[in-house]
Amino acid sequence: MSDDDVIICRCEDLTLKELRELLKRGYTSFDEIKRLSRAGMGPCQGKTCKQLILNEIKNYTHLEIDKIPIRPTVVRPPARPIIFKEILESENERNR
Amino acid sequence: MKETADIVIVGGGCQGVSLAYHLTKKKAGKIILLEKSYLGSGATGACAAGIRAQWGLPINCKLAIKSLEKFEQMDEELDFPGGIDLKQGGYLVLAYQEEEIVQLKKNVVLQNSLGIKSKIISPGEVRSMVPYLNTENLIEATYHQRDGYADPHKVVFAYGEASVRLGVEIRKFTPVKRIIVDEVRVMGVETDKGTIYAPIVAVTAGIYSTGLLSNIGINIPLYGERHEALVTEPLEPMVKPMIISFSLNLYCQQTPHGSFIMGCGDPHKPVGEDISSTPQFLFTMTKKITRLLPFMKKVRVVRQWGGSYDMTPDATPIIGSVSEIKGLYLSTGFSGHGFMLSPMSGELLSQLIIGETPSVDISGLNLERFQIGELIREPSVVG
């Protein structure tokens, strides 16, 4: 299978080929790749692609995964996408 | 080994990379830019991506309209793969109070005198522009078509790549521990990987500028202030302009990707480096946005985040030299609108550094204004 056919980020359609091009351009941290390719910004918020991307960075840079720069996990709610109406209703419930 | 450079830039956000690019374009010598993490990792990367020329202070109007011109030419000039995602759907500024209308009318007169073609529009015109908008209690609005959106990450990386092509050395993941001074002149900087000697050091480090400068006895009245934002799932293009209101204290814009980015003011925002996300913001934003854009009720929130505005006492930036220390320059304290001004602020500081007269008079933005009490407060901000 060619790199063009391998999907790394299912939410935002990042292929392995595109990921490798970003690595070659010098973007070798997860945070840079996320901000350039949107990988990790879709509905799953990186739960699927993050490990795959870190592994590719490791293969490219020959750094151990714990040496790859990554910003400390910032909690970015909600855990799963949720519609505004449900938030509104939960708030009305709380104030009752 | 004694490493030297002509100019060291501390901080790789939008201010630092724009300055690096404009300096190297003028062949200002050997330039090293130091960034403690990746480019745009601070306030730039957390910003809500809006760019506008509708300001209430002449200096902000001048910086903003020149910056808009640069954003419009950026894809051609920087040749960044895929471009910077510029969208010019305009900014629609909604007004609900009489005193607000008075201020906005003043702003439009000022903006028009400076070549910004903003105008007052009626609630009817607002409805035809954004049919989904609830215009209840709306009195009037202002609109400027060239305002809009650009992707802050892509802009920073675009300036970064173009700077490197022209000879700038960018060192990511290289924190500066301290600026080195010899009483009255700057000598260089000490990083966690060694010392770099340079006769010129420019600090473009946002909220981290305060600590770097207080270490060498320069006090700047700059502090971090948390602001929060959220983004929804992508939808078909539905809303062209950025919708903003100073009295409702909110903004919301559909991005070229289709998602909506929005934020609102917070009366209890913490001061410092805290950029955590809160449920209070989610609830407040939900109430405000579902009232203003009722279709939002069915739209999913995908992500919340926070960032730090680098606030000054008059919500206006500090750009210029530091009189006590020769060779030390600042471009910081943009108070939440640094991204949209960065193309021009970088050019102006580069002119000052190489001894040219800046093409827009920025002498009023110096640090001394806080000592002599000549503040220049911007009236039109979402807080």
Residues B229 and B326 in one domain: no
Name residue, tokens 């009245």: B221
Verify whether the Cβ–Cβ distance B286 to A91 is below 8 Å: yes
Verify whether the Cβ–Cβ distance A76 to B299 is below 8 Å: no
| Structure-token pair, residue B316 | 């206006």
CA A20/CA A22 separation, integer angstroms: 5
Of A7-21, A70-84, B66-80, B95-109, give the lowest mean pLDDT range: A70-84
Smallest Cα distance from A4 to chain B, Å: 18
Verify whether the Cβ–Cβ distance A88 to B286 is below 8 Å: yes
- pLDDT one-digit tens code per residue, B198-217: 999 999 999 999 999 999 99
Q: Is residue B76 left, alpha or beta, with left meaning phi > 0 and alpha meaning psi from -120 to 50?
A: alpha
Contacts of B297 in chain A (CB under 8 A): 83-85, 88
Q: Which residue of A has its CA nearest to B300?
A: A83
Interface check for B297 against chain A (CB to CB < 8 A): the answer is yes
CA B249/CA B336 separation, integer angstroms: 14
What's chain B's average pLDDT?
96
- Domain with residue B102: its CATH number is 3.30.9.10
The pLDDT > 70 percentage for chain A reads: 99
Which band of pLDDT confidence, cut at 50, 70 and 90, is reported for residue A93?
A: confident
Is B30 part of any domain? yes
- Predicted pLDDT at B362: 96
Domain count across chain B = 2
Is B379 part of any domain? no
Contacts of A46 in chain B (CB under 8 A): none
How many residues in total does chain B contain? 383
Residues B211 and B326 in one domain: yes
Kindly report the number of other CB atoms within 10 A of residue B16's CB atom. Answer: 33
- The dihedral through the CA atoms of B162, B163, B167, B169 has a sign that is negative
Question: Rounded to a whole number, what is the largest CA-CA distance in chain A?
Answer: 57
Residues B137 and B123: beta-carbon distance below 8 Å? no
Q: Is the pLDDT of residue A73 over 80?
A: no
Contacts of A35 in chain B (CB under 8 A): 40, 45, 153, 157
| Structure-token pair, residue B206 | 């946002």
- Predicted pLDDT at A26: 95
Q: Which residue of B has its CA nearest to A72?
A: B37
For residue B304, give the nearest of A71, A77, A88 by CB distance: A77
- pLDDT one-digit tens code per residue, B283-299: 999 999 999 999 999 99
Residues B178 and B326 in one domain: yes
Is B73 part of any domain? no
The pLDDT > 70 percentage for chain B reads: 99
Residues B204 and B15: beta-carbon distance below 8 Å? yes
- pLDDT one-digit tens code per residue, B103-125: 999 999 999 999 999 999 999 99
Of B88-92, B231-235, B369-373, give the lowest mean pLDDT range: B369-373
Among residues B295, B311, B327, the one where a domain terminates is: B311
Residues B341 and B327 in one domain: yes
- Predicted pLDDT at A47: 87
Strands of the B318-321 sheet, one edge to the other: B169-171, B31-34, B7-10, B200-203, B328-332, B318-321
Is B297 part of any domain? yes
Q: Which residue of B has its CA nearest to A95?
A: B283
- Domain with residue A82: its CATH number is 1.10.10.1100
- pLDDT one-digit tens code per residue, B5-31: 999 999 999 999 999 999 999 999 999
Is B204 part of any domain? yes
CA B130/CA B136 separation, integer angstroms: 13
Interface check for B304 against chain A (CB to CB < 8 A): the answer is yes
| Residues of the domain holding A72 | 3-94
- Predicted pLDDT at B1: 64
Using DSSP's 3-state secondary structure scheme, residue B330 falls into strand
Domain count across chain A = 1
- Predicted pLDDT at A94: 74
Which band of pLDDT confidence, cut at 50, 70 and 90, is reported for residue B366?
A: very high
Is B56 part of any domain? no
For residue A43, give the nearest of B173, B290, B302 by CB distance: B302
For residue A88, give the nearest of B38, B287, B302 by CB distance: B287
Residues B333 and B186 in one domain: yes
Verify whether the Cβ–Cβ distance B301 to A43 is below 8 Å: no
For residue A75, give the nearest of B39, B154, B277 by CB distance: B277
Is B336 part of any domain? yes
Residues B170 and B160: beta-carbon distance below 8 Å? yes
Residues B275 and B329 in one domain: no
Between chain A and chain B, how many beta carbons pairs sit less than 8 Å apart? 86
Closest CA to B274 of B320, B228, B211: B228
Verify whether the Cβ–Cβ distance B277 to A76 is below 8 Å: yes
Verify whether the Cβ–Cβ distance A82 to B300 is below 8 Å: yes
Smallest Cα distance from A1 to chain B, Å: 26
Chain B, residues 28-67, CB within 8 A of chain A, namely: 37-41, 45
CA B112/CA B122 separation, integer angstroms: 18
ipTM: 0.91
Using DSSP's 3-state secondary structure scheme, residue B327 falls into coil
| Residues of the domain holding B126 | 88-146+223-311
Which of B303, B304, B305 has the most A C-beta neighbours within 10 Å, making it the best mutation to test the interface with A? Answer: B303
What's chain A's average pLDDT?
91
Which band of pLDDT confidence, cut at 50, 70 and 90, is reported for residue B65?
A: very high
Interface check for A36 against chain B (CB to CB < 8 A): the answer is yes
Residues B97 and B157 in one domain: no
Smallest Cα distance from B305 to chain A, Å: 6
- pLDDT one-digit tens code per residue, A44-58: 888 889 999 999 999
Contacts of B37 in chain A (CB under 8 A): 31, 69, 71
Interface check for A78 against chain B (CB to CB < 8 A): the answer is yes
Residues B80 and B361: beta-carbon distance below 8 Å? no
Give the amino acid at B45: G
The pLDDT > 90 percentage for chain B reads: 93
Verify whether the Cβ–Cβ distance B37 to A71 is below 8 Å: yes
Residues B307 and B46: beta-carbon distance below 8 Å? yes
- Domain with residue B345: its CATH number is 3.50.50.60
Verify whether the Cβ–Cβ distance B276 to A69 is below 8 Å: no
Q: Is the pLDDT of residue B132 over 80?
A: yes
Closest CA to B208 of B172, B179, B170: B179
Burial label, B267 (beta-carbon count in 10 A; 0-12, 13-18, 19+)? exposed
Verify whether the Cβ–Cβ distance A81 to B302 is below 8 Å: yes
Is B83 part of any domain? no
